[in-house]
Structure 1
Amino acid sequence: MVKAAGTLLECGLLAEEGSPEAEEDERLADAWGPWSPEASFFHYATRDVPFETATPELRQHLTREGRPALFTEYPEADRILLPRTPDPRLSAPLEQTLYRRRTHRSFSAQPVSLHDLAVLLGTVFGPAEFIDGFEYGALIRRTSPSGGARQELDAYLATPNVAGIPAGLFHYNAREHSLELLGEGFTHTEAGALCARQEGTDQAAFIVFVVAAWERMRVKYRHPRAYRVSHLNAGHLGQTFALAATALGLGPFQSAAFDDSAVEARLQLDSTTHSTLYALAAGHPTPGTPADTAGLKPSGKRPCATDNPGGVTTDPSDTP
């Protein structure tokens, strides 16, 4: 045992009590607290990495045969083709939309229209244009940034209350602007069970689960720092979702509180190759809901003259 401990000490895997290394370990443990060791290990392991251009080996791998598909599709699934009607509400002034955005947690029983859902999905997750990526092949640009235009994030939907669509689970096919049926039937009760029973999930008209298809990112970026980038990409999509939903008169909320394995099992996903990163939801806000339902009192200040205080709820992290 003593010999083994000595070997581990020589290799830097153990620190002698009272040594500078041990004191530094204690300082880090105190600083990171309940996030250690998982978050602190990933944080420090992905700092100060070397950034390189594509090597000849990578370029060769990224031939047509080595590239993952540009779009995720379920060709055998029943599908609902979505309308492509533009919506003038998206032309609202940016300042107005920014200051109207709130996190909503209380929704009426009014279903969201198929038109509004189609506009929202196309605006957030649909291709804005195609890009010539040279050795990386054809790429797409969305209305949100994506590291390297990898677009590794897909939208999967639960639709308990959308007009013209049966309750169920779907994948949004961004190429053809359609919903591909993965499973029939979905209730607000199940939404609450999948999303930690947090407020709002048992009332929202629909929930979008943002899912990463890892190979699409990994095929170009080989360092685990790219895992950081995928989470940043999910945040970009979440903000665009919130602003677009606000412009359409819907109440959005975003959350990372969900049962990863249960969501992926329900969506029939391989949790090794795909991971759920974010849950985005929306519905029609309950009319007259005050702005202080989460225990917050309105300040009385309105930074935007066009802001509409009606039908707004907030959470403690999302003050007016």
Structure 2
Amino acid sequence: MPAHINPNVFLIFQPDGVVLWDFERHSQYLLAPEYAQRLLEFAYENRAIAQDDKIDRDLQDQKILSEHPFPQSEWGWDPLARIFHVGTKDIRQDLMPTNDREWAVCHTALCIETIKQETPPFRHVPAGPIAPLPEPDFSTLSSKSLWQTLLGRRTCRQFRQEPVSLQTLSNILYASFGFLSEREAQINEFVPKYLRQRRSSPSGGGLNATEIYLFSLQVHGLDAGTYHYDPADHSLGFIRKIQDPKVLPSLLMGQYFSAELAFGIFIAGRFDRMWWKYGHSRAYRVSLLDVGHLSQTFQLASTACGLKTWLSAAFKDSEVEKLLSIASSAEQVLLFVGAGYSDGEDIDAASHRLLSQLKDELP
């Protein structure tokens, strides 16, 4: 009977050999050449397990091979998504706290060990002018109730190509992404200096492991271009000018209506700040959650300021990185959110025309 290879393993080729990774069991094995060769034989020649062969027994003992089919999981995406999800699921913990003191001891020890390492700094744009922003004015935000704002938030795909004021942009950036001086008095005395920044959204580990990039299209008093937002100084660091607004739809996989936005934000994850405290790849999940929190806050703040919003995770990663001068793999763009004045249409104009022609054929 042909052997079955565990579908939850993959191979990584490294300078010192081939590593087999069982991502479901969180186990890694550096394969000796004869073990790697034997696996290839099972893969290509439909061989049966030889119980008198040490290599076969070892592979069977480690649940890499089996005489019976391995259970198949329901999964609608490709293997890469499954490797990520299953590989960051049910992580092992050597010491499990059983009471409040044990948890506090473990957590404090982790924090103390972490601060012995140098903190990855937030990004500062070294070249180019710094554009100061007006002091935030929260009279508009304060006049809207949370319920009004929640009801008013809507993902739109038609915008009026109408400029927004620099004051409005300032209010939204600070409320969504700024380090809020208004929260400083609330910070516990035991929080170390490197974790004392506070945004209006939660952040995994208090690390604020994100960077914010503005794509300005139609903002009064601000050139069309890309900027880095400094949440500590509440200022914009100029990166480059944008001459053609159609650059944005090209970056966003042809979503042409993005050129009508007044401005957009690319939110990037700073993985090195996550690695600094959390070594396990489950922290990648937290990076995605951080971006989601910031996105929702941005949309609510923009809505309260009278704008409509749109967001997308479909973009050309490498081209966006070049445009934003992101050169490190430790920083990756994860989401785009945009805002502008709109009549509230959630279907773009071209699709609306097409659907109107096809309405008799629609179910």
Q: TM-score range by the shorter chain?
A: 0.7 to 0.9
Task: Please give the alpha-carbon distance, in whole angstroms, between the structure 1 residues aligned to 2:345 and 2:340.
Answer: 17
Contact 2:157–2:348 under 8 Å retained in 1 = no
Equivalent position to 2:141, from 65, 90, 94? 90
Equivalent position to 1:119, from 155, 165, 171? 171
Contact 1:169–1:186 under 8 Å retained in 2 = no
1:45 aligns with 2:87: yes
Aligned to 2:4: none
Instruction: Judge which range, 213-222 or 170-179, deviates more.
Output: 213-222
CA deviation vs aligned residue, 1:233-279 (integer Å, no higher than 9, x gap): 11111111111111101111111111111111111112511100110
So what's the TM-score if we normalise by structure 2? 0.71
Aligned to 2:298: 241
Contact 1:159–1:186 under 8 Å retained in 2 = no
Task: Please give the alpha-carbon distance, in whole angstroms, between the structure 2 residues aligned to 1:152 and 1:217.
Answer: 6
Equivalent position to 1:185, from 242, 248, 253? 242
* Cα drift, residue 188 of structure 1: 2.0
Aligned to 1:211: 268
Contact 1:139–1:150 under 8 Å retained in 2 = no
* Distance change >3 Å, CA 58–CA 202, structure 1 → 2: same
Please tell me the residue identity of whatever aligns with 1:47.
Answer: K
Aligned to 1:221: 278
Please tell me the residue identity of whatever aligns with 1:153.
Answer: T
* Distance change >3 Å, CA 292–CA 273, structure 1 → 2: closer
CA deviation vs aligned residue, 1:95-142 (integer Å, no higher than 9, x gap): 111111111111112111111111000000001234456457342111
Equivalent position to 2:314, from 253, 257, 262? 257
1:32 aligns with 2:69: no
* Distance change >3 Å, CA 50–CA 12, structure 1 → 2: closer
Please tell me the residue identity of whatever aligns with 2:314.
Answer: A
* Cα drift, residue 32 of structure 1: 1.2
Please tell me the residue identity of whatever aligns with 1:227.
Answer: Y
Task: Please give the alpha-carbon distance, in whole angstroms, between the structure 2 residues aligned to 1:243 and 1:43.
Answer: 29
Task: Please give the alpha-carbon distance, in whole angstroms, between the structure 1 residues aligned to 2:290 and 2:345.
Answer: 32
Equivalent position to 2:115, from 62, 66, 71? 62
- Structure 1 segments unaligned to the other structure (5+ residues): 297-320
Task: Please give the alpha-carbon distance, in whole angstroms, between the structure 1 residues aligned to 2:194 and 2:345.
Answer: 50
So what's the TM-score if we normalise by structure 1? 0.80
Aligned to 2:161: 109
Please tell me the residue identity of whatever aligns with 1:98.
Answer: L
* Cα drift, residue 154 of structure 1: 1.3
* Distance change >3 Å, CA 110–CA 37, structure 1 → 2: same
Which has the higher relative contact order, 1 or 2, with Cα contacts under 8 A spaced 6 or more apart? 1
* Distance change >3 Å, CA 159–CA 186, structure 1 → 2: farther
1:174 aligns with 2:222: no
Task: Please give the alpha-carbon distance, in whole angstroms, between the structure 2 residues aligned to 1:79 and 1:180.
Answer: 5
Task: Please give the alpha-carbon distance, in whole angstroms, between the structure 1 residues aligned to 2:271 and 2:252.
Answer: 23
* Cα drift, residue 88 of structure 1: 1.5
1:279 aligns with 2:336: yes
CA deviation vs aligned residue, 1:161-220 (integer Å, no higher than 9, x gap): 111101111000111111101112253210001111125312111110001111111111
SS at match of 1:137: helix
Equivalent position to 1:79, from 130, 152, 157? 130
Task: Please give the alpha-carbon distance, in whole angstroms, between the structure 2 residues aligned to 1:37 and 1:146.
Answer: 29
Contact 2:157–2:345 under 8 Å retained in 1 = no
Please tell me the residue identity of whatever aligns with 1:264.
Answer: E
